[in-house]
Amino acid sequence: MRRSQDLNVTRLSTATLRPSEPTERRYMFLSNIDQVLNFSVETVHFFNANAEHPIESVIATLRSAVERVLVPYDFLAGRLRLDESKGRLEIDCNAAGVTFVVAKCNIIQMRRLAALAFNRPLPFPPLNDRRLLAARSPPRVTFSHPEFLKLETLPTPHTTMLDPLEETLEFKLFHLDTNNISTLKEKAKMNRGEELDPRAVTSFNVVIAHLWRCKALATNEAHDVNKVSTVLYAVDIRRRFDPPLPVSYTGNAVSSAYARATCYELANSSLSRIVGMVREGATRMTDEYIRSVIDWGELYKGFPYGDVFVTSWWKLGFAEVEYPWGKPIYSCPVTHPCRDIVLLFPRIEGADKGVNVLISLPKGDMEKFERLFYKLLDEM
């Protein structure tokens, strides 16, 4: 683990950037998946200095690229609003613009923005019609959905699933190198007589299973063996529809896979069994199941509900995006002050293809998590 280093950031300028060409004023329909994912995801990208692209040139290039990308992606320059007649959030595509801040600190967006930074055309025009994921008429909820919590009041543009609690949290970074992940895979293959599809034993699944068990047991303050823990993780649903969504679809196209177990089960089951639970969450995500999720949202509103939200930036490919001044040397999300979020992102040190795990918990729970993290990793 490594303690973070504070950065002294000085803001140099702030501007509102608008589309470089006139855009149509309209109200954009948002799918029920969009209704849930109504928060911004912030990222930081680090680059090596490039003598051929001084910082002034980089700023001007990015500024121009943002203004041009806001033409085909005009909704990004809009604002969320509530259609009170329907009780639904929508986007007012009013070209209000986005904030562009230039700042410096004491250390010296993605593929399509990079393309425009090169003055290249977009690889394909965006498909902005979110009605592709509209609910069926009438809605047909064909599965139970314990992974969602009903919303008792109408949503607002400020209602999100990530409202932080008023508590003091510690942030710690844990590392799982390739040897650690291989160890977890070997443990998962020790079935103890249980049936497990060999395809379930992936790096992602064994890491999720390990973290879920550690976090659920570390935060079970009452030592209630019957307490139910739910882990959620995002699944790309574009190819799970029949037919698949077009590759150019710009709406949110992820849904929450889940696994549930009591703390007793998590403490006493083999890693193989827990990996199987995690795997089942993804295999559950068929065309009909996702349509049922969308229809459930039409009837009940609400948000994904669980005590462990795993968000993975592990293999998103940010490092492969080419800018005029080079590829990022590292990309990562901005931390969020929420105890339920577990962030996975690639390691930066050396050639090891392991994963970094960022955990945020109160001090006492963090100490228990750390003990379990290494204890369960070492047990065979």
140 part of a folded domain: no
Among residues of the chain, what percentage have pLDDT more than 90?
63
**What does the pLDDT read at residue 43?**
86
Name the domain boundary from 110, 133, 156.
133
Q: How confident is the model at residue 344 (pLDDT cuts 50, 70, 90)?
A: very high
Name the domain boundary from 101, 133, 165.
133
**What does the pLDDT read at residue 285?**
97
What domain range includes position 187? 148-378
Task: With H, G, I as helix, E, B as strand and everything else as coil, classify residue 345.
Answer: strand
Alpha-carbon distance of 92 to 78, in angstroms, equals: 5
Mean predicted confidence (pLDDT) in 46-52: 89
Placement of tokens 């394909």 in the chain: 124
Q: How confident is the model at residue 109 (pLDDT cuts 50, 70, 90)?
A: very low
Please give the angle made by the CA atoms of 124, 111 and 337, to the nearest 5 degrees: 125
Name the more confident of 95 and 45: 95
Mean predicted confidence (pLDDT) in 17-31: 97
Do 197 and 328 belong to one domain? yes
**What does the pLDDT read at residue 319?**
77
224 part of a folded domain: yes
Residues 6+ apart with CB under 8 A from 67: 17, 18, 19, 20
**What does the pLDDT read at residue 3?**
46
Name the domain boundary from 133, 168, 191.
133
Do 258 and 321 belong to one domain? yes
Q: How many CA atoms lie within 13 A of 335 on its CB side?
A: 14
DSSP assignment string, 73-89: TGGGGSEEEEETTTTEE
**What does the pLDDT read at residue 89?**
92
Mean predicted confidence (pLDDT) in 323-333: 86
Count of helices and strands (H, E) across the chain? 9, 15
First to last CA, the chain: 23
Do 191 and 321 belong to one domain? yes
5 part of a folded domain: no
Structure tokens at 184: 């977890």
Alpha-carbon distance of 67 to 74, in angstroms, equals: 10
Taking only Cα atoms into account, the Rg of the chain, rounded to an integer number of angstroms, comes to 22
**What does the pLDDT read at residue 123?**
75
Closest CA to 328 of 161, 110, 21: 110
Q: How confident is the model at residue 268 (pLDDT cuts 50, 70, 90)?
A: very high
pLDDT at 2 over 90: no
Residues 6+ apart with CB under 8 A from 366: 170, 172, 218, 359
Alpha-carbon distance of 146 to 228, in angstroms, equals: 11
- Residue range 163-196, pLDDT digits in tens: 555 678 999 999 999 999 999 999 998 866 567 8
**What does the pLDDT read at residue 338?**
78
